[in-house]
Amino acid sequence: MLYVTECSHTPSCCQPSTSLVARDSQPFSRPVAVLFPPLSRPCVRGLAITLCALVSASAFAGEIELKSLASLKGDDATKKKYGPYVGFFGGTNKTLTGDATIGGVPFSLNDFDGGSTYGIEVGKSWKSKRYPLMMNLEFEASFANNELSGQASPETLDATTIDPVTGLAVPLIANNGLAGYKTDMNSVFFMLNGSVSLDLYRYRARLGKFISGLRPYVGGGIGGGQLWFRNTITQSKDQLTGANPLTTSTGFPFAVDDFVNAWQWFGGIEYTWKDKYSIYAEYREFHYGELEEVEDLTTSGWALGYRYRY
């Protein structure tokens, strides 16, 4: 038969008033089965609130993820893995190095008034599917201008040499010989460049618009172009030393107007928005091939530019 007894092993919030225990007609010491006790109203209310909070948080997170995926899916820049671009740049050449030898006499080589460079570029980019990298191949045309100056050192001015005819010692530089110069160096070069960029634009949902728009890069190129000197001013030994300011120089250096090979390397950072428009700042180092009177000629400086991808 069935009888009612008190249960003292359940929590106070969930403790029932009674429980049903089945027993047969024969008396024995333990029950055959115990039914689960019903929950009280405070427990039911707490469980319901917790369940609703979990469901709401899951729905909110799912909505954010769906919106992010939808924005990436509809973004043409995400689908596009390559594309052409055009751009232009301008900058300054801060340093110039090299060795000048005129008529067998060594001269210093200085950039006394700075220099400038301008150019245009047309290229194409490829985005890696696996890695956050973008490869670029471009054709560049540039114009550069530098104002050079130099003079013979005091040791060279005082140096002597043996005259092959008389066998006597004569000054290495005569009184009317070339002792100093100033000239404008101009060049037009055509370069084929390649570069690699760190493409963070694909992570814009996590990094934000500004950080994902930054694109550091490094590259280099080879090519050639025309180089010429103009407006050359010479200074004789007497003019340089002040012995006779009226003595003009008979030397005429830098009569170069020829095709020259060149190579360059550069590195910088680009900021892009909509993966279509971008501005960039870069450091450039340009190496000229050997000239008749100048060796190891190198210019370096900074440039600012704009690119448009379509």
Q: Say what the pLDDT of residue 179 is.
A: 93
Q: Whose CA is closest to 286, among 266, 267, 260, 270?
A: 266
CB of 298 closer than 8 Å to CB of 286: yes
Closest among 310, 285, 279 to 298, alpha carbons compared? 285
Question: Which is it for the CA torsion 156, 157, 159, 163, positive or negative?
Answer: positive
String of b and e for 253-278 (b: at least 16 CB within 10 Å)?
A: bbeeeeebebebbbebebebeebeeb
* 91-94-98-102 Cα dihedral, nearest 10 degrees: 90
Predicted pLDDT at 122: 97
Residue type, 91: G
In the numeric block, which tokens belong to residue 295?
Answer: 């060796």
pLDDT in tens, 215-273: 999 999 999 999 999 889 999 999 999 988 888 888 888 877 889 999 999 999 999 98
- Write down all domains in the chain, each with its CATH number in brackets: 2-69 (no CATH), 76-309 (2.40.160.20)
Could you tell me if 127 and 144 are in contact, meaning their C-beta atoms sit under 8 angstroms apart? Answer: no
One digit per residue, pLDDT tens: the chain, 310 residues?
444 444 444 444 444 444 444 444 444 444 444 444 555 565 556 556 655 654 454 444 444 334 444 454 545 544 555 689 999 999 998 888 999 999 889 999 988 777 899 999 999 999 888 899 999 999 999 999 999 999 999 999 999 999 888 889 999 999 999 999 999 999 999 999 999 999 888 888 888 888 988 999 999 999 999 999 988 999 999 999 998 888 888 888 887 788 999 999 999 999 998 878 999 999 999 999 988 888 899 999 999 999 998 8
Q: Are 268 and 216 in contact (CB under 8 A)?
A: yes
Tell me which residue of 85, 68, 65 sits closest to 127, measured CA to CA.
85
Q: Is 9 left (phi over 0), alpha (psi -120 to 50) or beta?
A: alpha
- Separation of alpha carbons 170 and 225, rounded Å: 41
Using CA atoms, how far apart are residues 256 and 235, in angstroms rounded to an integer? 19
Helices (H), the chain: 41-74, 76-79, 154-158, 204-207, 209-213, 237-241
- Say which amino acid occupies 204: R
- Give CA torsion, residues 74, 77, 78, 84, to 10 deg: 140
Amino acid at 116: S
Residue 170, C-beta contacts closer than 8 angstroms, at least 6 positions apart: 160, 161, 162, 163
Question: What is the model's pLDDT at position 81?
Answer: 57
